[in-house]
């Protein structure tokens, strides 16, 4: 009998367990933990988004692995977890930015957009016949000249951060960020910190440029900038995160 009750709490999206938990939401969080790492850093000069791209085969085009997304001119999103779930939420976020422009004639605020997304996520934790989104996202942008950085959780809860990561090895990266973060970081120093956090995730000695995605939004020119592979390689070399070349006989 107890086992049958446990299965009911397990399978029902809308059923609380006796200790007040929604198991399906917790399973969604586990899906996020299996995703490749994405990192966000807020600096005095803007925000940085960086992500490690995992390719399942050398035959796969690295450019087809999307981890960072432009949502509006001044807002970008990084994701970890189920890619298909992330794409649906990215599309929803883009629709909300256009609704704001058409309705009010102005760009949507970063916090406002984050709460629109999390309200949408939360609806899927309280309706039958659906499951929670198995993805966490970092929403970064510049609002009224100020850099903002938020996280969305599968439960539909928004959090604001100075620096954070989503995906695998989050605990280790959080300790690294807490130790290395400085409130006076420049944008370049934020990129350095983001690369260091990605390296902390897998104890990597270095990265190939195609394995890392990087985007920035500066307060001076609040426009989402996705850096190409060549620029990423230059940053990796500058901050000593570029994988060493091996001589093949």
CATH of the domain at 129: 3.60.20.10
Q: Average pLDDT over the chain, rounded to whole?
A: 90
In a domain, 145, yes or no: yes
Q: What is the pLDDT of residue 129?
A: 81
Q: With 80 as the cut, is the pLDDT of residue 239 above it?
A: yes
Q: What is the pLDDT of residue 204?
A: 60
In a domain, 245, yes or no: no
Rounded to a whole number, what is the largest CA-CA distance in the chain?
65
In a domain, 4, yes or no: no
Q: What is the pLDDT of residue 65?
A: 77
Residue 104: which domain range? Answer: 34-238
In a domain, 2, yes or no: no
In a domain, 1, yes or no: no
In a domain, 22, yes or no: no
d(CA 66, CA 51): 9
In a domain, 65, yes or no: yes
Q: What is the dihedral of CA 28, 59, 76, 222, to 10 degrees?
A: 160
pLDDT tens across 132-184, in order?
999 999 999 999 999 999 999 999 999 999 999 999 999 999 999 999 999 99
How crowded is the C-beta side of 185, counted as CA atoms within 13 Å? 23
CA distances from 216 to 156, 171, 172, 182, 241 (A): 25, 24, 24, 18, 18
Q: Are 89 and 81 in contact (CB under 8 A)?
A: no
Residue 208, burial from CB neighbour count under 10 angstroms (0-12, 13-18, 19+): middle
In a domain, 150, yes or no: yes
pTM check: above 0.85: yes
The total number of structural domains that make up the chain: 1
């Amino acid at each position: 009998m107890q086992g049958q009750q446990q299965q009911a709490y397990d399978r029902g999206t809308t059923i609380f367990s006796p200790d007040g938990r929604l198991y399906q939401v917790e399973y969604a969080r586990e899906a996020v933990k299996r995703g490749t790492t994405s990192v966000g850093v807020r600096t005095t000069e803007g925000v940085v988004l960086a992500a490690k791209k995992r390719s399942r085969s050398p035959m796969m085009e690295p450019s087809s692995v999307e981890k960072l997304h432009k949502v509006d001119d001044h807002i970008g999103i990084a994701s970890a977890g189920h890619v298909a779930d992330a794409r649906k939420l990215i599309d929803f976020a883009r629709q909300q930015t256009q609704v704001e422009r058409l309705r009010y004639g102005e760009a949507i605020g970063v916090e406002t957009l984050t709460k629109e997304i999390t309200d949408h996520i939360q609806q899927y934790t309280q309706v039958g016949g659906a499951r929670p989104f198995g993805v966490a996202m970092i929403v970064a942008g510049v609002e009224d000249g100020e850099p903002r950085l938020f996280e969305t959780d599968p439960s539909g809860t928004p959090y604001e951060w100075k620096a954070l990561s989503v995906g695998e090895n989050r605990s280790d990266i959080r300790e690294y960020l807490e130790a290395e973060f400085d409130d006076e970081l420049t944008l370049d120093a934020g990129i350095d910190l983001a690369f260091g956090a990605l390296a902390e995730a897998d104890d990597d000695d270095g990265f190939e440029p195609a394995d890392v995605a990087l985007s920035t939004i500066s307060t001076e020119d609040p426009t989402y900038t996705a850096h190409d592979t060549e620029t990423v390689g230059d940053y990796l070399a500058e901050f000593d995160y570029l994988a060493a070349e091996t001589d093949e006989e």
